[in-house]
């Protein structure tokens, strides 16, 4: 199996990545939350955040939700639903949670919300649990 190692350069959360988002996360044990403001470098169309970037942050909030339950995971499947445009220069909230754990798969959900609580995009994911003793995918 392939080995994985955290070098703190993750585009979404790595503090050592000079062009990354450097997201911070909080958890209440059930949900994981982050806040972010996309600058114009993350636009697809003028003033609109690129859908691939939205997919990236949804993936990250779902993986962090598993991490906050003591699980180390990588994404196996990701499904995204875009509902409203996400604008550069505005603050957004990310929310994620673990829905179910089945053998070596974690089922997760994530949302990007504007500050009025309206859903901008949502997603669901299936994550592979990594064997912490071998640091590889089971």
Give the 3-state secondary structure of residue 41: helix
CATH 3.40.50.300 fits domain 26-137: no
| pLDDT greater than 90 at residue 123 | yes
Predicted local distance difference test score (pLDDT) of residue 18: 94
pLDDT digits (tens, 9 = 90+) for 49-94: 999 999 999 999 999 999 999 999 999 999 999 999 999 999 999 9
Which of 24, 43, 21 shows the shortest CA–CA distance to 35?
Answer: 24
Question: Residue 5: which pLDDT band, with cuts at 50, 70 and 90?
Answer: confident
Report yes or no: 75 and 65 within 8 Å, Cβ to Cβ: no
Place of tokens 């988002």: 21
Place of tokens 């779902």: 62
* Cβ contact 38:52 at 8 Å: no
Tally of CB atoms within 10 A around 4: 12
Domain spans of the chain, in order of start = 26-137
């Amino acid at each position: 199996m392939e080995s994985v190692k955290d070098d703190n350069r993750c585009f979404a959360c790595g503090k050592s990545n000079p062009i990354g988002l450097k997201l911070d996360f909080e958890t209440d044990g059930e949900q994981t939350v982050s806040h972010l403001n996309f600058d114009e470098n993350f636009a697809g169309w003028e003033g609109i955040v690129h859908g691939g970037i939205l997919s990236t942050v949804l993936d990250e909030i779902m993986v962090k939700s598993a991490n906050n339950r003591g699980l180390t995971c990588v994404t196996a499947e990701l499904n995204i639903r875009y509902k409203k445009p996400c604008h550069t220069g505005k603050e957004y909230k990310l929310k994620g949670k673990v829905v179910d754990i089945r053998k070596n798969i974690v089922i997760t959900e994530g949302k990007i919300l504007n500050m009025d609580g309206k859903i901008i995009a949502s997603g669901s994911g299936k994550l592979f649990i990594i064997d912490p003793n071998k640091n590889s995918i089971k």
